[in-house]
Chains A and B, each alone.
Chain A
């Protein structure tokens, strides 16, 4: 079946530390991959995406590369800020045109201390 596995949280880092949140997936076909972020009290927001193998998604200093050979889409940021504290969800999108669905990982809570 289709599933997404994220590293378990919570993750606590100091400001300016390097961040990696691991994400691996299993899927039939060729999914698109996403990272969503949820700030306290808000809905999920799309952070970045990649639609095919070797694509790199990037936004707000975050990056993730679609690795088909390792079925991974790890999220990285070189220097985190307190404002990056949030819950991060890795997801894949499957299905044909008009019938697409998102499958989410369990989320990783990130706390950045000043």
Chain B
């Protein structure tokens, strides 16, 4: 199947700093990418949906100024957590799909720890 790669796999940052997570589709062009957040022993919660070349659509309750999403090309989307705080510590997962009604492929996730 298609491969989606996230980088880094884990990151530790200081409170107040910003951290960027990359999501790349390695062997296909992704028209749509999704960003999820997963708390321990909880389900994946959709944060936002981004289509290449347009602004991301955020789910209710997700702060767009805190979680900046950029989908500048058909193979790369980035999530930047700005002014991170310990409560932002979580597991972030991206997924990507080719068309409007096709299977989505998932990255391996990024564990963010804010200290």
Contact = CB atoms under 8 A, between A and B. Distances in A.
Given A101-B46, A102-B46, A105-B43, A42 B108 contact: yes
A97 B44 contact: no
Contact of A44 (B46, B93, B100, B101): B93
8 contacts: A4-B43, A41-B108, A43-B4, A43-B6, A43-B93, A44-B93, A101-B49, A102-B104
Interface residues of B, number: 22
Nearest to A10: B41
A45 B104 CA distance: 9
Chain B residues touching A, majority SS: strand
Given A41-B108, A44-B93, A44-B106, A89 B44 contact: yes
Interface of B: 1, 4, 6, 34, 36, 41-44, 46, 49, 93, 95, 100-101, 103-109
Q: What band does the interface of chain A fall in when counting residues whose beta carbon is under 8 Å from B?
A: 10 to 19
Interface of A: 4, 36, 41-46, 89, 97-98, 100-107
B108 A43 contact: yes
